[in-house]
Structure 1
Amino acid sequence: MNKYELAVVLSAKLEEEERAAAIEKVQGYITRYNGVVTNVDDWGKKRLAYEIQKSKEAYYYFIQFDGDAECPGEVERHIRIMEPVVRYLCVKQEA
């Protein structure tokens, strides 16, 4: 299994419950495709480097997980169409 880190940027317009539900959904996608979530870092609301969808701030989450080579692609396929997700990036961590 490989180690991955997924950065998820959520809209600043979301309430606490909506953000928690979105992150829970992302974690569900990871486990659905044989991944194991090892850590979730909530960085809170941060200023964006540039305006995205007329918003200057967003919520940042970093999710570390272990999975096989197909897992990140499948997770990204689902995250891409999630409404509250502004940006995302999944990278393989060095061993």
Structure 2
Amino acid sequence: MPYYESVFIARQDVSSSNVEELAGQFQQIVEEYGGRVTKTEHWGLRNLAYRIKKNRKGHYVMFNLDCPPEAVHELERNMRFNEDIIRYLTLRTETLDDNPSVMMERKERKDGRRGGGRGGRRRNE
């Protein structure tokens, strides 16, 4: 079966628990079509680059999918009709990466240390 990565953005006024329920519903859709979700990452509430449907922020969730194309079509169809989803994107990939995504690594690094990005104090020149 082909591999896919799918990311969706839920509205900012939806609670985190509702976003997790949405992710569970989408996972069930994939499993009904004989696929499986190998990894789910909740990136949290993040700022959008520009306003989408009057939203400035959104809850981001990423799936790694091992499923037939029919499952992806049904998943996207359900995302399209769900009014809590403001954007989604699904890409086909050659392999699935079990390591944390770049977004999760950034979040862990940000939580782990404080301070500016370039380190150290500024020198007076």
Pairwise TM-score range, normalised by the shorter structure: over 0.9
SS at match of 1:60: strand
| Number of positions where the alignment pairs a residue of Structure 1 with one of Structure 2 | 95
TM-score normalised per structure 1 = 0.92
> For 1:69 and 1:46, how far apart are their aligned partners in 2?
29
* TM-fit CA distance, 1:59: 0.7
> For 2:61 and 2:69, how far apart are their aligned partners in 1?
22
> What do the CA deviations read for 1:14-49 (whole angstroms, capped 9, x no partner)?
112211111111111111111101000111111101
1:37 has 2:37 as partner: yes
Q: Name 1:11's counterpart in structure 2.
A: 11
Q: Name 1:74's counterpart in structure 2.
A: 74
> For 1:55 and 1:70, how far apart are their aligned partners in 2?
31
Structure 2, unaligned runs of 5 or more:
96-125
Letter in 2 for 1:76: E
1:47 has 2:47 as partner: yes
Moved over 6 A (4+): none
> For 1:84 and 1:71, how far apart are their aligned partners in 2?
20
* TM-fit CA distance, 1:70: 2.0
> For 2:58 and 2:43, how far apart are their aligned partners in 1?
10
Q: Name 2:119's counterpart in structure 1.
A: none
SS at match of 2:86: strand
Aligned Cα root-mean-square deviation (Å)? 1.1
Higher RCO (Cα < 8 Å, 6 or more apart): 1
Structure 1, unaligned runs of 5 or more:
none
> For 1:15 and 1:68, how far apart are their aligned partners in 2?
31
Percent identical among aligned pairs is 28
Higher helix share goes to which structure? Answer: 2
TM-score normalised per structure 2 = 0.71
> For 1:64 and 1:4, how far apart are their aligned partners in 2?
6
